[in-house]
Structure 1
C-alpha cells in the first residue's frame, strides 16, 4: 500500500492522495483512510480530550482509545503500523519548521464524514494553486486562497529570531488546520528559493505534485515510473 507521507509536506502529500493510475483514483475513500493520512503527516486525530482523561478514570490506555474510536465509527491505525517515509533533507527541515508553527493537534478532533468532504475540498484548492505553471500566477493563486482563510498572525521567537506565521483560529476543524499548514509550507518552499521548482507531474494521467531537487531544475516527472512511461509513449509515437 502506498504511504501518504512521501515528503512530509501536507501541501504536496495531500494533493497526491488522488492517483489516476489506480482503478479508483481516490486514496481518501473513507474516514479510516483520513485517520491514516493524519497519523502519517503527524496530524493524528483522536477522540475529544474529555474522553481521553477524566478525574474518575485518568488517562486512557491505547486499547481504550481504540475502543472510543470504534464508538464513533472510526478506527485509527496504531503508530506501529506507520511506515517511515524517505524525506529529502531540505523537505525535512521545512517539515520540522511547519510542525512547530502550524501543527494539527490530535486531542481536539474526532473525525466524521463531513471532515472527509472538507479535506477533499482543501485538496482541490491546493491542486488548483499548484496547477498554475507560471510561478507568478501560482503566487497570485496562493495569495487569493490565503486571503479567504480565517487565519491569524502568530509571531514566534524560536532561536531568538521572531518570525511571522499564519495560524488557524482556536477551535478550527481539521480541514482548516490542514489548509493553513499547507499555505505555511508553500510560503516556506518559496522562502527556500524553490517556488519555481514546485510543479505537477507532466506524465499524463499522473498529476502528482513534487519539488524538483535536480541540479538543472528541469525535471518534469514526479518519479522514475512516470518518466519511463512518458519516454515509452514518446518512442511509440515516433515509430508510428
Structure 2
C-alpha cells in the first residue's frame, strides 16, 4: 500500500534499532523528512545515514526521553531545522528487571516508568504544542501487547504500557477537534534487540510456542500499521489501541 508523506516532518524516538528504525525507514521511503531520535548517538547516526544513502531525508538527534527539558529541546530543534512537525512516533522504551512484584527494585521501577511512561508523556505534550501551531498532526504512542495483558515478573513494563494506552485515549479526546489524531500500537513478540536481550533460548522457544502463528513478528509488520495510522487514510481513527501480536492476546 502506497502512503504518501511528501512534505511531512516526522520524529521517531527509539529509532536507532528494531521497531523504531523500521518505522523511520518506512516513513522516509514514503517521502517524510525524519528525525532519528535515540539515546544511542551512534545508532541514531547509523540509521539516519542508511536513510540518506537510499535517497531519503533524515537527521539524527541524541535524546533521553526521560528528561522533559531534553525532549522539549528536541521538538524545538526539529521545528527550527525542518520547518514544522507533522508526525510523531513515541517508541523509545526499556525492559527493566525480571523480578516478582514484591522483589522488584524501586530504582528500576522508577527508570522504567521514567522512559516508558513519562517519556511518552513528555513527547506527546511537546509534540501537541508544536502541531497545534500548524493546525494538526498525527501521533502514535508505542504501547505493547502487555498494555492489555499481564506478564509475570514484568510489573514495571506492564504497568507503564497499560498507562500509555490511558494517556493516549485522554489526549485523543482532548485534541480530536483540533486536527491532532493520537493512537496507540501494541506489538506482541517482535524480532528486536530488546526481545533478544530479555529472552534466553528456552524462553524464546516458549514464546514462539505460545504464538498462534508459530513465529515472532517482524519490525516491518509493526511499521506498516504505524505508518497507516499516521496517514490520511486513517483520518477517522483516533484514541484507539491496535495490536500487532499474531493473536497472542486472543487466547
Range into which the TM-score falls when normalised by the shorter chain: under 0.3
TM-score normalised by structure 2 residue count? 0.27
Q: Which is strand-richer, 1 or 2?
A: 2
The structure with the larger Rg is: 1
